Structure 1
Amino acid sequence: MAKADNPKPQFKLWVYRLAQVVLYSFYRICFRFRAFGTENYPKDSRGVILAPNHASYLDPPILGISLKKPVTFLAKDYLFKPFVFGRVLRWLGCIPIKSESEDFRSMRQLFRALKEGKSILIFPEGTRTETGEMREPEPGVGFLAVRSQAYVWPLYIKGSFKAFPKGVKRFKYTSVSAHFGKPFIPALDAELMAKENPYQAVSQRIMEEIKKIKEEVN
């Protein structure tokens, strides 16, 4: 059982690449998907926190199909309970998180992934918007960014709310695109670190960067 849940890295990468191909084809056909600014990916070995707005269930796969380098995703722990689906999530490198409590084990896994130079997806808002407008950010992404000293790479996902908003059962065939901004390292920003609550200040800065990208795109 343990061996099946932890296959060789080559097999996990193969599963990830297969999922990329399938999902990219789906997004191109249904949403005419395109990604812009991916050339801004940091060139050094420091970990990267991918920080987009969150408007739809369509959002997480967008990061996976936009970047060549595998992305580490978070997934609610109950999604791992179905045997087959849970195993696939593990093969894809997903990290389970608890829904209702502080999950220190998951946090340790996130820090470990960033220390290893991996890219992880964190939604600063914490959950999907119900109105299409961006929510206030949670301090968690700021805490992770400061303590890990990782890059934060803000991006704006356009069109996913129109395509598949919260509470709707069927998606619409409309354009969806991802617009990547410029990565920065919050822990090296002396002005942010001098704030009374640096974690919240970093989270706010991230949301400001996402909104700037939105303004440029629109």
Structure 2
Amino acid sequence: MYNFASTLLFYLAKLFRLLSVKGKENIPRDERYIITCSHKGWVDVIMLALSIYPTPVYYMAKKELFNTKIKEKFFRSINAFPVNRENPGPSALKIPLQLLKQNKCVGIFPSGTRTNEEVSLKRGAVTIAIKSNAPLIPAAYKGATNFKEIIGGRRSSIILGKPLNFEEKKQVLGKDELIEYALKTLETEIKKLEENLQ
């Protein structure tokens, strides 16, 4: 279902000029990566996927979205996989690490929740990037946050930043220091990208 839905939405967005994308040249070619973005509403989940179309994105999503068989079937059909945000544990890393080994793109919203407020980023995205040695692509979104705004023709913008890689820092920093450094770097880059969208 993901391929059909993403193709349809991509051409609709293109036809009605609903999405502009900057920085697409920063996306690694023929290489696995993790893409992260500021999270304002459900629309940015779709727009982020369209920004790197035709590459499919496998999204980490809160387990509460999978609480019925119908919902679980739907979300898995669009490449989402569940994670326990309250008690992530080692199992939360297993699926994204397996996907990255298969050279697939993993999407994570590091704020962990949809918000317009400034919140601290969670460690998941940088931890997975460090463990997998996969580049981390920061991104920022501005635009529609609901269906009504899309129908009203509100245009959206996404800016993709340069890949972040922490291999060199692994040699000089301890585990906790490395995660904190990576988290701060990602946070800084996303803020810069958000400022560029203002």
Q: For this structure pair, what is the TM-score category when the shorter chain's length is used for normalisation?
A: 0.7 to 0.9
Give yes or no for contact 2:157–2:197 (8 Å, CA) kept in 1: no
Classify 1:60/1:103 alpha carbon distance in 2 versus 1 (closer, same or farther; 3 Å): farther
Structure 1 counterpart of 2:28: 42
Query: How much has 1:25 moved relative to structure 2?
Result: 5.3
Query: How much has 1:159 moved relative to structure 2?
Result: 2.2
Asked if 1:188 is matched to 2:188, the reply is: no
Distance 1:75 1:209 in 2: 23
Distance 2:142 2:97 in 1: 29
Structure 2 counterpart of 1:144: 128
Query: How much has 1:87 moved relative to structure 2?
Result: 1.6
Distance 2:110 2:21 in 1: 20
Give yes or no for contact 2:39–2:114 (8 Å, CA) kept in 1: yes
Secondary structure at the aligned position of 1:58 is classed as helix
Query: How much has 1:85 moved relative to structure 2?
Result: 3.3
Distance 1:56 1:189 in 2: 33
Asked if 1:216 is matched to 2:190, the reply is: no
Q: Deviations over 1:158-215 (max 9, x none)?
A: 124xx44xxxx95463221111111121233468836862212211101111111222
Query: How much has 1:89 moved relative to structure 2?
Result: 2.0
Aligned-residue identity in percent: 26
Distance 2:85 2:196 in 1: 35
Distance 1:151 1:48 in 2: 5
Q: Return the TM-score normalized by structure 1.
A: 0.76
Larger Rg: 1
Classify 1:187/1:134 alpha carbon distance in 2 versus 1 (closer, same or farther; 3 Å): farther
Give yes or no for contact 1:140–1:199 (8 Å, CA) kept in 2: no
Q: Which runs of 5+ in 1 are unaligned?
A: 1-14
Distance 1:30 1:77 in 2: 34
Classify 1:77/1:188 alpha carbon distance in 2 versus 1 (closer, same or farther; 3 Å): same
Asked if 1:78 is matched to 2:58, the reply is: no
Q: Which runs of 5+ in 2 are unaligned?
A: none
Query: How much has 1:99 moved relative to structure 2?
Result: 4.3
Range with bigger deviation, 93-102 or 142-151: 93-102
Partner residue of 1:200 out of 155, 167, 180:
180
Distance 1:69 1:196 in 2: 32
Structure 1 counterpart of 2:106: 120
Distance 1:192 1:60 in 2: 35
Secondary structure at the aligned position of 1:193 is classed as coil
Query: How much has 1:76 moved relative to structure 2?
Result: 2.5
Amino acid of the structure 2 residue aligned with 1:38: K
Q: Return the TM-score normalized by structure 2.
A: 0.83
